[in-house]
Amino acid sequence: MGRVSLAGVSKTYGDPGQTVTALTNVSFELADGEFCAILGHSGCGKTTLLNMVAGFETPSAGIIRVEDQPVSGPGWERTMVFQDYALFPWATVRQNVAFGLEMKKLPADARAAIVDHHLDLVELTGFADRYPDQLSGGMRQRVAIARALAVSPRVLLMDEPFGALDDQTRRYMQEELVRIWRREPKTVMLVTHSIDEAILLADKIVVLSSRPGRIKQVLSVDLERPRDEDSPDYLALKRYLRGLIHAETAA
Amino acid sequence: MSGAAAGTAVPVILPARRANWYRRLKPLVLLAGLVVLWQLVCLLWLPRLDRQIAILLPSPVQLASTAGKLIATGELPHHLADSLRREAVAFALALWAVPLGIAMGWWRGIHQQFYPVVEILRPIPPLAWIPLSILWFGLGDVQNEFIIFLGMVFPILLNTLEGVRQVDRNLIRAARSLGAGEAVLLRRVVLKAALPQIVTGLRVGLGFGWMALVAAELVGANSGLGFLINDARSLLRTDIVVVGMLAIGVAGLTIDFALRGLARWLLPWSQQQGGR
């Protein structure tokens, strides 16, 4: 349902002769239902990569496919959860979650059932009629997740989704995300600069180097869920990734 | 008598009520003091100074009596209604600045073409159009409405334009990836997101229009509050002049209040709109 493949994807900005290369020759594949973290420093082009998968930006070279269909623009099969939530402030929680379903022209009763299901999934049933301004950061991000999942996308894209949250809330939301993902398995691409977040959440970690962004390594995380941050395997992987990223900073 | 039952309740309610009145009236102490001072100056000081000068500053009591008469004869309501009607007609026309502003904010090509036109016309004060507009339209409603329209259209246009340009890019992206097409995007996301700024533009526009209205009526009308005060000037009826000025102020304030109410109704999610 949600296979993703990137083949030779590059992105350059600027006018000819004065270009800046953001990403160069990025290729990897994700299986259906795989949870992938894109890990790298700020400026490594990881958000650009996500924006191209979402269809907000077009690659300068290479091709991105979802289920063998080339990506040519934004669409409901690839929905995004933004760091700043990007909820519609004029709409209630329920209206926010229902937005994509209205765009799909679902009848009202089917819409209501799907919205209720997703509000239940993110545990916000009692907050359906609140406005985003009346919610905490963690709750807003749960609304954003519900809104993105409600249209049944093939791929869920997350751009540093917990970056604006305090440490405690971030921990809680990471656990929540894993719980939600296990109940509704989806291919997930999550951009992060946090090594811990990548290890805690992902099946596969794509490590990007900076300027220009290119793949440094793609590695699988074969740790039992829920993941134990104190286990030797976890710590070994963390040390390895830190070395990989640190070498980058030194270079 | 019902007084017995109510009487027992009075000691409980009264202190709270008093405190409430006190809080409400407290900001008006200086204002009330100034009015009293004004009255005393008119009553005691000015007549001793010079009888001619006394005419130039009518007292608050005299104003109240003049206002009462002007309302009773229907003269003030008649002029007020004419002014409000001109403001309303001009506002209805100036509302076209909203779709134009949205289009300019959204489509680069439209912005490119319209912006130079706007930038050339905008710095010309509406009042500078009065002589030409009198030649074009003669004295009367159309000329007045034209001047008011010019006062309104630029604040509305530029606020709308700015509101659209400042729409959070991620809101647009979110809507697009959820399947919104261009028309839906404009109507349900861009318009909504820009609405607080558009409403600010409407408020500023109505205020500018009201100022331009009075100026237009001073020279180019035979009714309206601007006409009323200018006409009274030639008869040395300073009391009518000041009552007219106060009516202009109160009406302007009422329009702004009404629009703030509209903002609260249109923008229930945006708390700061009502308060500003």
C-alpha–C-alpha distance, residues B271 and B43, integer Å: 47
Same domain, B15 and B127: no
pLDDT of residue A190: 94
Q: Answer yes or no: is A35 within a domain.
A: yes
Q: Structural domain of residue A36, as residue ranges? A: 1-73+199-251
Please check whether residue A172 touches B, CB under 8 A: no
pLDDT of residue A124: 87
Among the three residues B19, B39, B55, which one is the final residue of a domain in this structure?
Answer: B55
Q: Answer yes or no: is A30 within a domain.
A: yes
Same domain, B79 and B49: no
pLDDT interval class at A248 (50, 70, 90) = low
**CATH for B68:** 1.10.3720.10
C-alpha–C-alpha distance, residues A203 and A199, integer Å: 8
Same domain, B44 and B156: no
Query: CB B176 to CB A56 under 8 A?
Result: yes
Same domain, B240 and B187: yes
Query: CB A147 to CB B171 under 8 A?
Result: no
Which chain B residues contact residue A151 at CB under 8 A? 178-179
Same domain, B27 and B122: no
Q: Answer yes or no: is A243 within a domain.
A: yes
Nearest to B164 by CA among B119, B114, B198, B188: B198
Which chain B residues contact residue A88 at CB under 8 A? 171, 174-175, 189, 192-193
Query: CB B179 to CB A88 under 8 A?
Result: no
C-alpha–C-alpha distance, residues B273 and B163, integer Å: 14
Residue A32: DSSP 8-state? T
Tally the domains of chain B.
2
Question: Where is pLDDT greater, at A159 or A42?
Answer: A159
Looking at mean pLDDT, say which of A84-98, A225-239, B40-54 comes out highest: A84-98
Please check whether residue B265 touches A, CB under 8 A: no
Same domain, B16 and B146: no
Please check whether residue A37 touches B, CB under 8 A: no
pLDDT of residue B5: 44
Same domain, B98 and B232: yes
pLDDT digits (tens, 9 = 90+) for A196-243: 999 999 999 999 988 788 888 899 988 888 888 889 998 999 899 988
Query: CB B179 to CB A147 under 8 A?
Result: no
Q: A16: Cβ–Cβ under 8 A, 6 or more apart, which residues? A: none
- Which residues 173-212 in chain B show a CB within 8 A of chain A? 173-180, 184, 189, 192-193, 195
**B93-115 mean pLDDT:** 94
Long-range contacts of B242-247 (CB under 8 A, 24+ apart): B242/B58, B242/B63, B243/B63, B243/B66, B243/B67, B243/B70, B243/B76, B244/B76, B244/B79, B246/B63, B246/B67, B247/B76, B247/B79, B247/B80
C-alpha–C-alpha distance, residues A25 and A201, integer Å: 26
Query: CB A133 to CB B267 under 8 A?
Result: no
Tokens representing A146 are: 């519900």
Tokens representing B75 are: 């003269």
Sign of the four-CA dihedral A109, A110, A113, A118: negative
Nearest to A219 by CA among A237, A206, A210: A206
Q: Structural domain of residue B18, as residue ranges? A: 3-55
Please check whether residue A75 touches B, CB under 8 A: yes
Q: Answer yes or no: is A135 within a domain.
A: no
Q: By CA distance, what is A95's nearest residue in B?
A: B188
Tally the domains of chain A.
1
Helix (H) or strand (E) holding A188: strand A187-192
Tokens representing B265 are: 């109704």
Q: By CA distance, what is A55's nearest residue in B?
A: B177
Same domain, B63 and B48: no
Same domain, B33 and B79: no
**CATH for A2:** 3.40.50.300
Among the three residues B11, B38, B55, which one is the final residue of a domain in this structure?
Answer: B55
Strand, coil or helix: A215: strand
Least Cα separation, residue B167 to chain A (angstroms): 11
Same domain, B115 and B179: yes
Same domain, B25 and B93: no
pLDDT at B57 over 60: yes
Q: Answer yes or no: is A92 within a domain.
A: no
Query: CB A75 to CB B171 under 8 A?
Result: no
Q: What is the mean pLDDT of chain A?
A: 89
| Cβ-nearest to B192 among A56, A90, A147 | A90
Question: Where is pLDDT greater, at B89 or A19?
Answer: B89
Report which residue type is found at A61.
A
Nearest to A236 by CA among A216, A248, A251, A219: A219
**What percent of chain B has a predicted confidence (pLDDT) above 70?**
91
Please check whether residue B171 touches A, CB under 8 A: yes
DSSP bridge partners of A6: A28, A64
Which chain B residues contact residue A84 at CB under 8 A? 168, 170
pLDDT digits (tens, 9 = 90+) for B185-244: 999 999 999 999 999 999 999 999 999 998 899 888 889 999 999 999 999 899 999 999
Same domain, B152 and B94: yes
pLDDT at B128 over 80: yes
Residue with tokens 């930038």: B119
